[in-house]
Amino acid sequence: MPKPVETMQLSDPYNITYKGIYAVADRKNEHVEIMERSSCYGGSAWALYHYSKSPLVIKCRAVGDMMRYLVRTGSIPLDLKSSVAAAGIESVIVNGDEIEITYSGLGGGGVGATTCRAYASGVLRCRLSESGGGKKASGTIVVPKRERVLVGIDNTDSKEVGATWTLAHNIASVVDAPERKYISHTLVQLYPVPDKTQNCVATVLEFACTECQKKGLLEDIREGLEKYSVSNETGMVAMSDFNAEELMEYSRLCRSKMITKELAIKTAKENNVEICIGGKGMIGALAALPWFSRNEEAVMI
């Protein structure tokens, strides 16, 4: 039976704290991707629509419960308009190993710009104005500057047991930590080669890491794969970059026909991709990298 309304106790009735907020920057600190893990999709979807109109925002999208904003760094005051452009991102500044993000909004949008984001996991500190009611409000949060680490995995299963995507996710969930956040998991359809297990699908994991976290992360993932893989041809590759677009030509080739392991090794070396486990599965693992967080596109052959 539900509790009677008169016994209901809400500790903070006008706040819904985001589960986590993380930000990765490119090498020149010209672009940042802000990733906000939502606790209430309805509110986050409202923000996604309104924030898309902010001058600094290049692109925004929802991936599961993660709201992702690709932005230019800088500061541009917002011309907020009730119901039309009621909230947005006003400033994104990279300061050394930190990123400072300022949001502003009207009414409920101001609550989202302040208290809802200020106390999320991943936030180091904040500055807030009053919010709620009919007020215009702004909030600044400071988060660690992170780098994106992509890990491609393929061929961990056999015709008798296993599935690469499940093992990859379970390992990623275990190695997840505040300094190396597990952001996304994407299945990537490959060309169905004759020696495939069944569906010929690779997996790419995305992490957002603070400085000096990559080496330990990759060692832990490799250890998990070596422990639980049931294949002698497991492949694992990794790269640190803001995106992996330079690998898209190779990936499209791999998704359209059979290619050789020699080509995969050559492509990895040319693009500073680390080969962590060098079984035949590295061919597909490498092809998976540029599709991180593009889940709907990646599953189509």
pLDDT, tens only, 86-131 = 899 999 999 999 999 999 988 878 888 888 999 999 999 999 877 6
Per domain, the residue ranges of the chain are 14-145, 155-298
Q: Who wins on pLDDT, 175 or 130?
A: 175
Answer yes or no: are the C-beta atoms of 69 and 33 closer than 8 Å: yes
Rounded to whole angstroms, the maximal C-alpha distance in the chain is 70
- How many whole angstroms separate alpha carbon 295 and alpha carbon 187? 7
Correct CATH for 155-298 of 3.10.450.50, 3.10.20.30, 3.30.70.2200, 3.50.50.60 = 3.30.70.2200
pLDDT at 8 over 90: no
- Burial class, 246, CB count within 10 angstroms (exposed 0-12 / middle 13-18 / buried 19+): middle
Give the mean pLDDT of the chain.
91
pLDDT, tens only, 10-20 = 888 889 999 99
- How many whole angstroms separate alpha carbon 135 and alpha carbon 108? 9
Residues 6+ apart with CB under 8 A from 194: none
Answer yes or no: are the C-beta atoms of 256 and 127 closer than 8 Å: no
Question: What is the pTM for the complete model shown?
Answer: 0.93
